[in-house]
A and B are shown apart, each in its own frame.
Chain A
């Protein structure tokens, strides 16, 4: 079962309180998502570290249950 948009957003918000998440269904199949995540926790971190924080929100589901997630990270302005 692919993860729903709501489940993806909830997972990110649970891991990164105060974040904003913008999801786009890339292929219209509910399975290939792009997420733009803006989070205060990203401040001062490298891109790799920022993406790891997002991936960590999904535990082992990334690459499995969550097949395709394109991630863009932003710091709050």
Chain B
């Protein structure tokens, strides 16, 4: 588990925005993951996605790493932001866009 946490830590610090999800942005395998992808696409930012269905260690490890029981999970600049419900609430309030701006996250070119 320590190794998995180190891998996750590396993923979330070496990428500005990381979405841990079920499936891929093109083919999400769960409604909540699909919603998270749609929100990030609306924000127009570049992000790294990790398909937890392809990696059982990360699928379990991310839950203890974040102390959060569900997938998807969004990280910005190494900080856990929340799951899809929080992403939606923040997006609707304009707070997610603000956070991404403040953190200087690159837009999709």
Task: Enumerate chain A interface residues (CB-CB to B < 8 A).
Answer: 47-48, 51-52, 55, 60, 62-63, 68, 70-72
Contacts and interface: CB of A to CB of B under 8 A. Distances in A.
Interface stretch (B9-17, B42-50, B82-90): B82-90
A47 B69 contact: no
A25 to B, nearest CB: 14
Q: Which 5 A-B pairs have the closest CB atoms?
A: A62-B69, A47-B86, A63-B69, A71-B85, A63-B70
B31 interface: yes
Contacts of B68: 48, 52, 55
B80 A48 contact: yes
A72 B31 contact: no
Given A47-B82, A51-B83, 8 more contacts: A48-B81, A48-B82, A51-B82, A51-B86, A52-B68, A62-B69, A63-B63, A68-B31
